[in-house]
């Protein structure tokens, strides 16, 4: 092998835990033993010296973490990228390390001041120097990776750390000689684990248990076949030995109190460049603009969380806060992601909350052609409930038939250009579909401005105390819509009938408050059973007790309606004379019943072809201004997906989880009410003076 390698270390003369900047330090302030620390460090120092040359940098008082020289910088050949620490507590070390490198003839690179980078703690060379593994998520910023690639001229693979115990890459990840890798996978997010698996073949991946991970087994110094570490279980030692490594444990408990072990206490100074690696552009970046009530609607923090949760990072380039409540704020953010694909994922999420690309950067939407019936091009943009605009030939067009989970189809030959939301299954060969993220923007509603007279409950979930108040508002809105010839659609589950709400819903229909009714087989059967036999699933609704032989009523009901050929016929024949569906037939209020796997019968009207059922629902929902969702999770979710933002939704269910799921659409017009639906309907009809 070549000459002895060189390492940089720093004696622990002033070492201590004096502040808390990682979880290991908590509870350990001033709890280290200087004597023991010195002994442990000395043992490591001598061990490393058996294989390599160790150089020393002078320790400095007041910089207790300076012995962790891995954080001095990142070295490759004669170049060093100096660290710029995230926390001020360690920033004092920077100038001393800089001095040392300059004095030893390194070519020094320094990060821009706003970008944190913690040296070899977060950047580890593949042992064959084919690329650099770089961590981010806790200390080093993702934005630093682009500089590393540029200055060191190599490929950088970004790994996102997600467990705060493993705040530096070298605490959970250690490339070893001969292509091996020692690591703790759960410290990384899923895309990072996938990236590791793509680059390192399975037989070379040595996965450590959590027990070994928390003993910092991955924080190992590897010199040729020697692996020096704090502590390893017999299993891990065995595993390493089988892979041809000699394991030496060098206890470093005192340094563990500061969150570091063997590798942290050393910095390799002679990383050679063995293979020429082409520079591959790493990290993808894009500027976005946000405009609106960024502060009062929490949009700003939502955007920042979204970026980080999706594995990206950001820099706020500009922020202008609206001075008064009615003023809009404006922000410009530079979004960074580890690669283009993830940047697109992040941008898609941001567009959904209203982010835009700056005018100078705005391009027409990318259109890709459908090649297979019912299948969108791979990178298609998936729609949300929010009104969306698409840029075609330099002009913005509003997407028609906006709904969730569709694709955007552009017909740029028609005049005017036609832009439509379509379901995947409806895509035709030759149609052009919007893909990528360019030329797409979401039209955020100017929150609560256009309906001054009536403020809905603003995405809130009301419980008993507030129910009456909310019901009053809903009654007000229903009356207004009826008087103006508006459209209200009710989605209802069988619970409406069980809880005695059927009469009230019937009244609403009779009085013209409902323009369409959506449900499944069950609500219709229960409603009709109630009318024909006075029971609902065999239970006497007046008295609340089961009726002898009542369970047969359900099937007898279905059978009788089938005999007539349908609900309308049963009404015509004078057999069905009351109830929700009777009122629908009488008032000519259209209804759609969507079938399901558990339906018995079903009734002739129940549509068992689900695609047809969805189409029927969608047709009846067209132009709806308000939707009442009454205790039917399944049908309500279906309806929610078909409905663009801007339509008022009222979701009533006894189960708060259902209400949260449905009412939380991130749009202001939805109101959730946690209460018994029968009670709700009776309050509502009372407010409307119906009964």
From candidates 170, 271, 352, 477, binder to ligand ARG by CB under 6 A = 170
Shortest separation between residue 301's beta carbon and ligand ARG, angstroms: 26
Query: Which strand ranges, in their side-by-side order, compose the sheet holding 313-320?
Result: 284-292, 329-337, 313-320
Cβ contact 158:340 at 8 Å? no
Shortest separation between residue 19's beta carbon and ligand ARG, angstroms: 9
From candidates 7, 15, 68, 513, binder to ligand ARG by CB under 6 A = 68
* Residue nearer to ligand ARG on the CB measure, 64 or 602: 64
Marked catalytic residue, from 264, 421, 584, 651: 264
Angstrom CA distances, 116 to 70, 84, 311, stand at 15, 5, 16
Among the residues of 484-605, which ranges form H helices?
A: 495-498, 502-510, 521-533, 551-564, 567-572, 580-587
**What CA–CA distance (Å, rounded) separates 596 from 658?**
19
**What CA–CA distance (Å, rounded) separates 447 from 273?**
57
From candidates 12, 32, 52, 71, binder to ligand ARG by CB under 6 A = 71
Shortest separation between residue 197's beta carbon and ligand ARG, angstroms: 24
Cβ contact 14:63 at 8 Å? yes
Q: Which stretch binds ligand ARG (CB under 6 A): 166-174, 354-362, 571-579, 663-671?
A: 166-174
* Residue nearer to ligand ARG on the CB measure, 210 or 296: 210
Name residues contacting ligand ARG, limited to 112-151 (CB under 6 A).
121
Q: Which stretch binds ligand ARG (CB under 6 A): 75-83, 259-267, 339-347, 491-499?
A: 259-267
Residue 171, interface with ligand ARG (CB under 6 A)? yes
* Residue nearer to ligand ARG on the CB measure, 144 or 171: 171
* 168 is annotated as an active-site residue: yes
Shortest separation between residue 393's beta carbon and ligand ARG, angstroms: 54
* Residue nearer to ligand ARG on the CB measure, 23 or 623: 23
**What CA–CA distance (Å, rounded) separates 563 from 112?**
80
From candidates 258, 399, 489, 618, binder to ligand ARG by CB under 6 A = 258
Q: Which stretch binds ligand ARG (CB under 6 A): 240-248, 252-260, 350-358, 558-566?
A: 252-260
Q: Which stretch binds ligand ARG (CB under 6 A): 20-28, 303-311, 327-335, 456-464?
A: 20-28
**What CA–CA distance (Å, rounded) separates 54 from 12?**
15
Residue 94, interface with ligand ARG (CB under 6 A)? no
Cβ contact 181:174 at 8 Å? yes
Q: Which stretch binds ligand ARG (CB under 6 A): 7-15, 49-57, 255-263, 330-338?
A: 255-263
From candidates 8, 9, 22, 218, binder to ligand ARG by CB under 6 A = 22
**What CA–CA distance (Å, rounded) separates 484 from 491?**
21
Q: How many CB atoms lie within 10 A of CB 114?
A: 9
Residue 260, interface with ligand ARG (CB under 6 A)? yes
* Residue nearer to ligand ARG on the CB measure, 271 or 676: 271
Q: Is 196 helix (H, G, I), strand (E, B) or coil?
A: helix
Q: Which stretch binds ligand ARG (CB under 6 A): 68-76, 181-189, 334-342, 493-501?
A: 68-76
Residue 86, interface with ligand ARG (CB under 6 A)? no
Name residues contacting ligand ARG, limited to 509-538 (CB under 6 A).
none
* Residue nearer to ligand ARG on the CB measure, 252 or 558: 252
Q: What is the DSSP letter of 399?
A: P
* Residue nearer to ligand ARG on the CB measure, 94 or 170: 170
From candidates 8, 9, 10, 21, binder to ligand ARG by CB under 6 A = 21
* Residue nearer to ligand ARG on the CB measure, 71 or 557: 71
Residue 97, interface with ligand ARG (CB under 6 A)? no
How many chain residues are in contact with ligand ARG, going by CB under 6 A?
A: 16
* Residue nearer to ligand ARG on the CB measure, 25 or 288: 25
Shortest separation between residue 257's beta carbon and ligand ARG, angstroms: 9
Q: Which stretch binds ligand ARG (CB under 6 A): 8-16, 62-70, 418-426, 527-535?
A: 62-70
**What CA–CA distance (Å, rounded) separates 38 from 42?**
6
Buried b (16+ CB within 10 A) or exposed e, 80-113: bbbbbbbeeebeebbebbbebbeeeebeebbbee
Marked catalytic residue, from 168, 504, 526, 616: 168
Shortest separation between residue 185's beta carbon and ligand ARG, angstroms: 18
Cβ contact 75:6 at 8 Å? no
Residue 65, interface with ligand ARG (CB under 6 A)? yes
Name residues contacting ligand ARG, limited to 264-283 (CB under 6 A).
264
Place of tokens 């910092």: 216
* Residue nearer to ligand ARG on the CB measure, 171 or 507: 171
* 264 is annotated as an active-site residue: yes
Q: What does the block give as tokens for 526?
A: 């229960």
* Residue nearer to ligand ARG on the CB measure, 188 or 680: 188
Q: Among candidates 477, 467, 527, which has minimal Cα distance to 500?
A: 527
User: Which residues in 154-294 belong to E strands, given as ranges?
Assistant: 156-160, 173-175, 181-183, 205-207, 221-223, 226-229, 246-249, 267-268, 284-292
**What CA–CA distance (Å, rounded) separates 507 from 583?**
8
From candidates 84, 138, 168, 391, binder to ligand ARG by CB under 6 A = 168
Position closest to ligand ARG via CB: 121
Angle ∠(29,31,34) on CA atoms, nearest 5: 120
Cβ contact 123:148 at 8 Å? yes
**What CA–CA distance (Å, rounded) separates 447 from 393?**
30
**What CA–CA distance (Å, rounded) separates 355 from 295?**
15
Cβ contact 354:299 at 8 Å? yes
Cis check: omega of the bond before 416, within 30 degrees of 0: yes
Q: Which residues pair with 88 in a beta bridge?
A: none
The region, left, alpha or beta by phi > 0 then psi within -120 to 50, assigned to residue 23 is alpha
**What CA–CA distance (Å, rounded) separates 510 from 589?**
9
**What CA–CA distance (Å, rounded) separates 54 from 11?**
11
Shortest separation between residue 118's beta carbon and ligand ARG, angstroms: 7
Shortest separation between residue 213's beta carbon and ligand ARG, angstroms: 13
From candidates 73, 259, 377, 501, binder to ligand ARG by CB under 6 A = 259
Which residues are identified as catalytic?
168, 264
What are the residues binding ligand ARG (CB under 6 A)? 21-22, 25, 65, 68, 70-71, 90, 121, 168, 170-171, 258-260, 264
């Amino acid at each position: 092998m070549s000459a002895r390698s060189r390492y940089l270390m720093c004696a622990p003369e002033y070492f201590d835990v004096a502040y808390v900047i990682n979880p290991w330090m908590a509870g350990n302030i001033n709890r280290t033993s200087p004597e023991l620390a010195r002994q442990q460090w000395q043992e490591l120092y001598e061990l490393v010296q058996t294989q390599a040359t160790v150089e020393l940098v002078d320790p400095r008082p007041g910089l207790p973490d300076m012995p962790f020289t891995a954080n001095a910088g990142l070295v490759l050949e004669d170049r060093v990228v100096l660290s710029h620490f995230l926390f001020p507590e360690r920033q004092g070390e920077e100038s001393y390390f800089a001095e040392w490198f300059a004095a030893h003839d390194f070519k020094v690179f320094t990060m821009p001041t706003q970008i944190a980078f913690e040296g070899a703690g977060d950047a580890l060379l593949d042992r064959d120097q084919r690329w650099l593994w770089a961590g981010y998520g806790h200390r080093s910023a993702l934005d630093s990776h682009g500089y590393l690639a540029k200055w060191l001229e190599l490929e950088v693979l970004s790994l996102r750390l997600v467990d705060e115990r493993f705040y530096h890459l070298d605490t959970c990840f250690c490339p070893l000689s001969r292509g091996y890798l020692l690591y703790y996978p759960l410290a990384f997010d899923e895309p990072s684990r996938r990236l590791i698996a793509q680059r390192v073949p399975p037989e070379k991946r040595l996965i450590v248990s959590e027990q070994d991970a928390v003993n910092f087994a991955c924080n190992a110094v590897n010199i040729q076949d020697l692996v020096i570490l704090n502590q390893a279980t017999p299993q891990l030692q065995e595993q390493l030995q089988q892979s041809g490594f000699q394991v030496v444990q060098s206890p470093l408990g005192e340094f563990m109190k500061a969150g570091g072990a063997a590798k942290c206490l050393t910095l390799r100074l002679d990383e050679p460049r063995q293979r020429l690696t082409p520079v591959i552009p790493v990290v993808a970046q894009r500027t976005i603009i946000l405009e609106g009530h960024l502060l009062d609607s929490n949009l700003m923090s939502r955007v920042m969380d979204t970026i980080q949760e999706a594995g990206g990072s950001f820099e706020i380039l500009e922020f202008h806060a609206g001075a008064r409540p009615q003023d809009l704020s404006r922000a410009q953010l530079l979004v960074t992601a580890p690669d283009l694909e993830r940047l697109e994922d992040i941008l898609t999420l941001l567009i959904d909350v209203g982010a835009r690309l700056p005018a100078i950067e705005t391009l027409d939407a990318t259109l890709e052609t459908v090649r297979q019936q019912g299948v969108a091009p791979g990178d298609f943009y998936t729609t949300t409930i929010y009104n969306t605009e698409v840029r075609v030939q330099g002009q913005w067009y509003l997407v028609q038939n906006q709904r969730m989970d569709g694709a955007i189809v552009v017909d740029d030959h028609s005049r005017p250009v036609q832009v439509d939301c379509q379901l995947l299954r409806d895509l035709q060969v030759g149609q052009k579909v919007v893909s990528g993220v360019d030329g797409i923007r979401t039209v955020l509603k100017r929150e609560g401005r256009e309906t001054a007279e009536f403020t809905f409950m603003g995405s809130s979930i009301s419980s008993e105390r507030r129910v009456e108040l909310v019901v009053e508002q809903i009654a007000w809105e229903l009356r207004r819509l009826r008087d103006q010839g508006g459209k209200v659609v009710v989605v209802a589950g069988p619970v409406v009938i069980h809880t005695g709400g059927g009469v009230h819903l019937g009244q609403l229909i009779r009085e013209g408050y409902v323009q369409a009714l959506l449900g499944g087989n069950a609500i219709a059967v229960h409603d009709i059973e109630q009318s024909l036999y006075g029971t609902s699933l065999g239970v006497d609704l007046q008295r609340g007790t089961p009726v002898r032989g009542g369970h047969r009523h359900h099937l007898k009901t279905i059978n009788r309606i089938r005999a007539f050929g349908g609900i309308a016929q049963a009404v015509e024949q004078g057999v069905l004379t009351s109830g929700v569906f009777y009122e629908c037939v009488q008032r000519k209020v259209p209804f759609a019943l969507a079938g399901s796997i558990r339906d018995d019968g079903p009734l002739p009207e129940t549509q068992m072809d689900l695609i047809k059922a969805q189409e029927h629902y969608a047709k009846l929902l067209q132009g709806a201004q308000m939707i009442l969702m009454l205790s039917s999770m399944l049908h309500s979710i279906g309806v929610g997906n078909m409905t663009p933002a801007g339509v008022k939704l009222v979701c009533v269910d006894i189960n708060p989880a259902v209400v949260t799921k449905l009412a939380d659409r991130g749009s202001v017009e939805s109101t959730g009410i946690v209460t018994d639906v029968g009670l709700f309907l009776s309050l509502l009809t009372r407010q409307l003076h119906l009964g």
